[in-house]
Amino acid sequence: MEKKVEHRIAYLGSSSMRCALGNSTENVFERIMRYESGVKDGFAHTEQHYESIEALAIPCIDEVLENSDVSLATPDTLLILSTTKGNVQLLEKGGAGDGGLRGAGDGGLRGVPEDVFLGVTANKIASHFNAANKPLVISNACISGVSAIIVAQRLVADGTYNNVVVVGADILCPFIVEGFRSFKSLDSNRCKPYDTMRSGLNLGEGCGTVLVTSFADKAVQPVVTVCGGSISNDANHISGPSRTGDGLYFAMKKAVENSGITFDDISFLNMHGTATAYNDDMESKAVNLAGLNDVPLNGLKSYLGHTLGASGVIEVVLAAEQMRRGIVFGTLGYENNGVACPLNVCGEHRLVGGARGTCGERAGGERGSGDGMGAGAAGSERRGSVGMGAGVAGSERRGSRDVCEGAAGGAGGSAGVAGDVRGSGEGMWGVRYALKTASGFGGCNAAVVLAECGGVSEGAVQGNDGGMQRTDEDTGECGGHVRDSSGYPFASCQTGGYRTDECALQNDDSCREVVNEQKIGADSPTLRKGTSLETERIFCGSPAVRKSVSLPSAGARPNFDEFIREKYHGLGQPNLKFFKMDNLAKLGYVAAAELLDDYDFEPSEIGIVLSNHSASLDTDIRHQRVLTSPAVFVYTLPNVTAGEICIHHHIMGENTFFIDASPEFIERYARSLIESGELKAVIFGEVELFKENYYANLKLLCL
């Protein structure tokens, strides 16, 4: 049965941030433009010390609401908090008279501060703004921020809310620092993503906030939309990334497909770029699988540090700002390719425009002339057509997907660089579609596609408000580089997608979410007022709960250790790693094993959506007592429970962990993943373990 439903555009509105580089989006952007780094002695602390997540997040949210004329007190507006550890620093103090939890004889279960619960933190923030809706909390390791943006886009697109305020925040403390140190993954110097000399990450702290809205008039100009995204799992290892990059590639591929585009349309990549040996290698392999080796790519953690739950939000905001200005930030400290597959990384900022082309590692030498390639080009230009100049208002497709040996291409033809930001005046910004990715413990990956849809003001075209001016003369003294009106040097680069001046949001299909032949259930959310578009979907029946498991069964709750041993041995599925798991993961593992006993799905067809109240607090307390065990620290993220299930059952679809989400929301969200065509089956429910309280209620939803 065919139905027509509205599927709305999700615009990026006002943003705000606090991090080591400043206290506003504009301030951070300007300092990155000057190649400044907030990393000092291996860490990136905020300029002001914050005692709590609330103190860090509330000013950012306040700025976004004020600038957007949006209120959390209205029923059509939701708050999403993205965080990995919230106020975990409070575990150092413990409760009254406890003297701190570290080394406490009772294992630290006495006097746990209420504010260490992530849901409590979110509710306090929401209460400050008299929020009409209970906030959502996402704690999905280092992909939390990107996951939150994806969830926000879905809730706006399907009409559940008109506005979603996404805030990502984390604060550094010994709990986090010593945990990462136990993995020997920290660099005491400024990190160097993708470089031959990279030797680890820099931890950072901060907060990023952005409005995702259905209202075009609340979008920041030039307009950037969130087209679509996807979340995946490596199904490989809980603390090490995939050695093949297939899990991240899967998220990238689904994100692009969900956005109604192809990899050929992507003109800029902002990756996770932690500067650890395995992460950066894995990302290069995922990029290679996607055939995007020649697309300009950057990582921002040498500027900002790895801000954990805030990183995805901050970096999405900065990706959008790069798109609006037609530039790609340089990856600070990058000099030589040090990853398994070649990437188009540059240590200097690059202006982009016209049809997508390739650059040398540092944008070649001087700009070429006419529609030829840059004179300092290293390696070969292996595109199907050279068509590099004049700000081409059409997509230059790649003739070949194979990878160049060595540094690829040159600096690009000068005709598309000369003149104002629109090249010859026929096109506009060069970065039409950007792909932002993240990866984290538990094998999780996330990817989101942003689209630059125009609406650029005359002032921005002329270089005001951070806009760029490009002229043949204004090259300063930096040789083959270009300077904008502020005098910052850029590597000259003809690359990126294209857009035309004619992009009217109500008419341009590229600014729409194209959803054809998708499944939709009868209980889809009622659409509220907002910018929308009509799409066709095919009704193929609603998913149903096929099986459910509740542990322990009704009656007295036995001792957990005895209970879990009995359940594990009853599975008859030996796993030498089972007894290395923390208790929360063990509980989720045995419940999922019972649930899937009679079912088998392709890895990409099934996902997991979980929630609980205490996150990983039971294991957090264990880690706080010792601080030096990587085997304990890795389980201080609740989504690792989903990761263990994914590894055992080879599940590579979405895995998202909410905190304090209602059972009704979790089921509705799980249904939406099937009705949208993202998955064919979803494991959803609750897995809770804290002190002597434990239970698992899981259900299998499928067509």
Please write the tens of the pLDDT for every residue from 576-611. 899 999 999 999 999 999 999 888 899 999 999 999
pLDDT digits (tens, 9 = 90+) for 509-539: 333 332 232 222 333 332 233 433 433 333 3
Q: Which segments of 472-543 are extended strands (E)?
A: 481-483, 489-492, 534-538
Residue identified by tokens 């630290």 is 108
Q: Is the dihedral of CA 355, 360, 363, 366 positive or negative?
A: negative
- Type of residue at 268: F
Is it the case that residue 438 has pLDDT exceeding 60? yes
Residue identified by tokens 């998708």 is 518
d(CA 206, CA 57): 9
Task: Count other Cβ atoms within 10 Å, centred on residue 571.
Answer: 14
Q: How does the average pLDDT of the chain come out, rounded?
A: 79
Q: What's the confidence (pLDDT) of residue 151? A: 98
Q: Report DSSP letters for 628-689, one per residue.
A: --HHHHTTSSTHHHHHHHHHHHT--S-EEEEES--HHHHHHHHHHHHHTTS-SEEEEEEEEE
Is it the case that residue 96 has pLDDT exceeding 60? no
Percentage of the chain exceeding pLDDT 90: 69
Q: What is the mean pLDDT of residues 284-298?
A: 97
DSSP structure class, residue 408: -
Q: What is the mean pLDDT of residues 33-52?
A: 96
d(CA 443, CA 141): 10
Alpha-carbon dihedral 123, 126, 131, 132, rounded to 10 degrees? -30
Q: How many CA atoms lie within 13 A of 453 on its CB side?
A: 25
Q: Is the dihedral of CA 658, 664, 670, 673 positive or negative?
A: negative
Q: Report DSSP letters for 32-94, one per residue.
A: HHTT----BTTEE--SS--SSHHHHHHHHHHHHHHHHT--TTSTTEEEEEE-SSTTGGGGGT-
d(CA 332, CA 347): 5
| 532, two tokens | 């929308």
CB 399 within 8 A of CB 269: no
Is it the case that residue 107 has pLDDT exceeding 70? no
CB 513 within 8 A of CB 227: yes
Residue identified by tokens 């009656």 is 555
Higher pLDDT, 339 or 406: 339
pLDDT digits (tens, 9 = 90+) for 259-280: 999 999 999 999 999 999 999 9
Residue identified by tokens 């208002």 is 393
- Type of residue at 112: V
CB 444 within 8 A of CB 231: yes
Higher pLDDT, 667 or 398: 667
- Band of pLDDT at residue 406, cut at 50, 70 and 90: very low
- Band of pLDDT at residue 109, cut at 50, 70 and 90: very low
Q: What is the mean pLDDT of residues 110-125?
A: 93
Q: What is the mean pLDDT of residues 370-387?
A: 29
- Band of pLDDT at residue 553, cut at 50, 70 and 90: confident
Is it the case that residue 544 has pLDDT exceeding 80? yes
Task: Count other Cβ atoms within 10 Å, centred on residue 120.
Answer: 18
Rama region for 431: left / alpha / beta (φ>0; ψ in -120 to 50; rest): beta
| Tally of helices (H runs) and strands (E runs) in the chain | 16, 24
Least confident of 38-47, 99-108, 276-285, 601-610: 99-108
- Band of pLDDT at residue 557, cut at 50, 70 and 90: confident
Q: What's the confidence (pLDDT) of residue 514? A: 29
pLDDT digits (tens, 9 = 90+) for 468-484: 322 223 322 222 333 34
d(CA 593, CA 490): 54
Q: Residue 603, preceding bond cis, omega within 30 degrees? A: no
CB 73 within 8 A of CB 131: yes
Per-residue CA distances from 440 to 58, 206, 261 (Å) = 26, 18, 26
| 421, two tokens | 């930001």
Q: What is the mean pLDDT of residues 127-139?
A: 98
Is it the case that residue 192 has pLDDT exceeding 80? yes
Is it the case that residue 437 has pLDDT exceeding 80? yes
Phi (first) and psi of residue 450, to 5 degrees: -110, 145
pTM attached to this predicted model: 0.81
Q: What is the mean pLDDT of residues 611-636?
A: 97
DSSP structure class, residue 8: -
Closest of 22, 38, 35 to residue 330, by C-alpha: 35
d(CA 321, CA 344): 20
- Band of pLDDT at residue 666, cut at 50, 70 and 90: very high
Q: What's the confidence (pLDDT) of residue 598? A: 86
Q: What's the confidence (pLDDT) of residue 542? A: 85
**Contacts for 59 with CB less than 8 Å, ≥ 6 apart:** 16, 18
Task: Count other Cβ atoms within 10 Å, centred on residue 427.
Answer: 25
- Type of residue at 96: A
CB 150 within 8 A of CB 316: no
Q: What's the confidence (pLDDT) of residue 454? A: 64
- Band of pLDDT at residue 374, cut at 50, 70 and 90: very low
Element (H, E) at 233: strand 223-233
Q: What's the confidence (pLDDT) of residue 4? A: 43
**Contacts for 49 with CB less than 8 Å, ≥ 6 apart:** none
d(CA 283, CA 273): 8
| 425, two tokens | 């005046």
- Band of pLDDT at residue 556, cut at 50, 70 and 90: confident
Closest of 301, 592, 127, 533 to residue 581, by C-alpha: 592
Q: What is the pairing mode between strands 203-204 and 43-44?
A: parallel
Q: What is the mean pLDDT of residues 88-100?
A: 66
Task: Report the chain's C-alpha Rg in angstroms.
Answer: 24
For the stretch 205-237, what's the b/e string if a residue is b when 16 or more beta carbons lie within 10 angstroms of its beta carbon? bbbbbbbbbbbbebbbebbbbbbbbbbbbbbbb
